[in-house]
């Protein structure tokens, strides 16, 4: 298999995802990065592994995509002083990943930002938790040290520090606003507060049970992460899940998408002081979650997707109940969309707020629904369309304006499309079983899973260890590449519009903090 006509030998991975792996040297990596944007490809993620127990050094893994599939490049680095070329100049989304990679493994991008990202002085600077010789039993005292935020100077400029604990029921993170009057001149984000050592934790779990941890990387995307993990595990184990399981997984994924959109469409209106919207949509979301409980035994569908298929079949009579509810919810959402569209005060807040223009979205590599609201027409359900999406024909929604109004419009349209998909899935559900046996993976087997969650594409890349263990597991949340977009699109807006703009993206803190 070849990508972009580059002289790299790729080995195709087994499984549902069209993906391939190849070894490169630094020059080949540079040439690939050079050719990628011209060919319309994108940077996906980067991570590292410690291979010194195999008599080598460290491996840098970089995942890219063209519309054909996922290309994982591996660059071997020496055990002493493992440095690699900085990729953030060409792919801004790599910047924070590179900082996190140094904190985890001590692998340094040459000449890049050296500030810590996940390490906040709470463990020593020479402790790299993902190194094989890092003692998992070690505990350290909490400490705090100043963080060098970029300062904005000038007459009347001052700073507003926000967080890590925010004013509402929200995840923790820090925002440093530099403002003049009400206007935001600059925003700098600092995250990592929720880092709880998930990558290291994976290594103490059996491969057949890692889906539970993957499903808790970001609780609102549990189906997307669990499916991506299972796709990766099934690829590594050479397991083909039954067709019915794939259709049921798609049913769950679309239900997760709708649940989040319903909650967010309400909450976005609430941040524009239209609490009617929140009350109405939270009621619909509650009805939706109760139907999840009745049909699958969990309000958020946690632990339903398991390696080999699905943990349980649809409850008896659930298909009819779900189809009926889809009709009822669609009627309600159409009425509410009419009210939103006609509400002058609401539209006044939505239109032009937090505008992310298409060119900037492309340069930053913004993906998922936020990307689609800024004319970035990427959706794995369409581009890759692994089963059952190849048979469903998803209609992608895009918008050019990139403001809060565009993101709300895309969310509404995605609710209607997912309701259509759910009815279609139920009508065409194949018979048979929903769970296949998972054979043990060969040591060193690599697998990748890539699923379009409600927020955007979720990647899981793992390598099997000996005797059914996990050697390494990298989870990538689309919030990595989308958070920097908020730093840009808030500029020139007023401080009180920040919650509204932020909520229109509703990015994850837990997902990238890991």
Partner 1 sequence: MYQLLKQIVRNGIRTEPPPQPDAALRNVAQRLEDAMLRELGRALVIRHVDAGSCNGCELEIHALGNAYYNLEALGIKFAASPRHADMLLVTGPVAKNMEIAVKRAWEATPEPKLVVAVGDCGCTGGIFGESYASCGRVSNVIPVDVEVPGCPPTPFALMQGILTAIQPTGA
Which residues are near partner 1 by CB under 8 A? 118, 120, 122-123, 127, 129, 134, 136, 138-140, 142, 144, 164-165, 167-172, 192-198, 200-201, 212-213, 216-220, 222, 263, 267, 276, 279-280, 282-283, 285-286, 289, 299-300, 302, 335-336, 338-339, 342, 508-510, 513
List of long-range contacts for 383-390, beta carbons under 8 Å, 24+ apart: 383/67, 384/17, 384/18, 384/69, 384/450, 386/16, 386/17, 386/18, 386/231, 387/16, 387/243, 387/246, 388/243, 388/246, 388/247, 388/250, 388/425, 389/250
Beta strands of 89-129 (E only): which ranges? 108-110
Where residue 4 falls (left for φ over 0; alpha for ψ -120 to 50; beta otherwise) is left
Q: CB-wise, 92 or 453, nearer to partner 1?
A: 453
Burial of 502 (0-12, 13-18, 19+ CB in 10 A): buried
Closest approach, Cβ 427 to partner 1, in A, equals 30
Other residues' Cβ atoms within 10 Å of the Cβ of residue 59: 21
Q: CB-wise, 150 or 344, nearer to partner 1?
A: 344
Q: CB-wise, 14 or 164, nearer to partner 1?
A: 164
Closest approach, Cβ 244 to partner 1, in A, equals 26
Which three-class secondary structure string do you get for 209-260? HHHHHHCCCCHHHHHHHHHHHHHHHHHHHCCCCCHHHHHHHHHHHHHHHHHH
Q: Which H helix or E strand runs over 11?
A: strand 11-12
Q: CB-wise, 10 or 202, nearer to partner 1?
A: 202
Other residues' Cβ atoms within 10 Å of the Cβ of residue 190: 18
Q: What is the rounded CA–CA span in Å between residue 390 and residue 353?
A: 36
Q: CB of 93 within 8 A of CB of 481?
A: yes
Q: CB-wise, 337 or 391, nearer to partner 1?
A: 337
* Nearest by Cα to 400 from 392, 391, 410, 390: 410
Closest approach, Cβ 319 to partner 1, in A, equals 24
Furthest CA-CA distance within the chain: 71
Q: CB-wise, 413 or 513, nearer to partner 1?
A: 513
Closest approach, Cβ 285 to partner 1, in A, equals 7
Closest approach, Cβ 137 to partner 1, in A, equals 9
Closest approach, Cβ 342 to partner 1, in A, equals 7
Closest approach, Cβ 263 to partner 1, in A, equals 7
Q: CB of 305 within 8 A of CB of 230?
A: yes
Q: CB of 353 within 8 A of CB of 401?
A: no
CA–CA distances in Å: residue 280 to residues 218, 286, 297, 299: 25, 10, 25, 19
Q: CB of 245 within 8 A of CB of 230?
A: no
Closest approach, Cβ 274 to partner 1, in A, equals 10
Where residue 393 falls (left for φ over 0; alpha for ψ -120 to 50; beta otherwise) is left
Other residues' Cβ atoms within 10 Å of the Cβ of residue 319: 16
Q: CB-wise, 72 or 268, nearer to partner 1?
A: 268
Q: CB-wise, 110 or 135, nearer to partner 1?
A: 135
Q: CB-wise, 7 or 169, nearer to partner 1?
A: 169
Q: What is the rounded CA–CA span in Å between residue 54 and residue 66?
A: 32
Q: CB-wise, 88 or 221, nearer to partner 1?
A: 221
Q: CB-wise, 319 or 339, nearer to partner 1?
A: 339
Q: What is the rounded CA–CA span in Å between residue 50 and residue 56?
A: 9
Beta strands of 115-217 (E only): which ranges? 157-162, 174-180, 183-190
Closest approach, Cβ 476 to partner 1, in A, equals 16
Q: CB-wise, 42 or 190, nearer to partner 1?
A: 190
Closest approach, Cβ 188 to partner 1, in A, equals 17
Tokens representing 464?
């099997």
Q: CB-wise, 381 or 455, nearer to partner 1?
A: 455
Closest approach, Cβ 512 to partner 1, in A, equals 12
Q: What is the rounded CA–CA span in Å between residue 116 and residue 147?
A: 9
Closest approach, Cβ 196 to partner 1, in A, equals 4
Closest approach, Cβ 194 to partner 1, in A, equals 5
């Amino acid at each position: 298999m070849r990508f972009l006509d580059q002289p790299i030998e790729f080995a195709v991975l087994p499984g549902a995802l069209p993906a391939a792996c190849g070894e490169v040297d630094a020059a080949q990596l540079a040439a690939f990065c050079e050719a990628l944007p011209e060919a319309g490809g994108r940077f996906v993620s980067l991570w590292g592994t410690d291979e010194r127990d195999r008599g080598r050094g460290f491996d840098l893994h970089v995942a890219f995509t063209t519309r054909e599939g996922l290309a994982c490049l591996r660059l071997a680095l020496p055990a002493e002083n493992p440095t690699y070329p900085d990729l953030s100049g060409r792919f801004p989304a790599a910047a924070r990943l590179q900082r996190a990679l140094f904190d985890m493994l001590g692998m340094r991008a040459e000449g890049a930002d050296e500030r810590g990202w996940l390490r906040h002085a709470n463990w020593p600077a020479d402790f790299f938790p993902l190194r094989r010789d890092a003692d998992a039993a070690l505990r350290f005292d909490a400490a705090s040290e100043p963080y060098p935020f970029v300062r904005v100077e000038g007459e009347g400029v001052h700073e507003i520090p926000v967080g890590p604990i925010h004013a509402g029921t929200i995840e923790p993170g820090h925002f440093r606003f530099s403002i003049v009057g009400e206007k935001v001149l600059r925003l700098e984000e600092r995250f990592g507060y929720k880092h709880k050592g998930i990558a290291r934790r994976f290594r103490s779990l059996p491969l057949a049970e890692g889906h539970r941890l993957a499903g808790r990387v970001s609780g609102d995307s549990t189906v997307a992460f669990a499916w991506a993990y299972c796709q990766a595990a099934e690829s590594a184990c050479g397991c083909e899940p039954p067709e019915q399981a794939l259709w049921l997984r798609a049913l769950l994924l679309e239900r997760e998408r709708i649940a989040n959109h319903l909650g967010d469409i309400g909450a976005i209106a609430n941040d524009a002081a239209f609490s009617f919207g929140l009350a109405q949509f939270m009621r619909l979301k509650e009805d939706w979650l109760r139907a999840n409980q009745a049909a699958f035994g969990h309000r958020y569908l946690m632990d339903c997707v398991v390696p080999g298929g699905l943990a349980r079949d649809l409850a008896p009579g659930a298909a009819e109940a779900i189809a009926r509810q889809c009709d009822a919810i669609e009627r309600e959402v159409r009425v509410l969309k009419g009210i939103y569209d006609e509400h002058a005060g609401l539209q006044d807040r939505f239109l032009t707020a937090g505008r992310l223009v298409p060119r900037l979205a492309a340069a930053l590599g913004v993906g998922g629904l936020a990307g689609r609201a800024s004319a970035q027409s990427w959706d794995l359900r369409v581009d890759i369309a692994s089963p059952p999406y190849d048979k469903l024909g998803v209609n992608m929604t895009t918008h050019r304006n990139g403001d809060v109004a565009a993101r709300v419009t895309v969310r509404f349209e995605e609710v209607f499309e997912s309701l259509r998909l759910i009815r279609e899935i139920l009508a065409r559900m194949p018979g048979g079983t929903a769970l296949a046996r998972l054979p043990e993976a060969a040591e060193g087997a690599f697998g990748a899973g890539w699923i379009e969650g409600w927020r955007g594409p979720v990647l899981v890349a793992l390598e099997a260890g000996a005797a059914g263990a996990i050697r390494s597991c990298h989870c990538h949340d689309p919030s990595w590449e989308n958070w920097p977009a908020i730093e840009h699109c808030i500029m020139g807006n007023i401080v009180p519009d920040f919650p509204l703009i932020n909520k229109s993206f509703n990015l994850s803190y837990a997902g990238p903090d890991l």
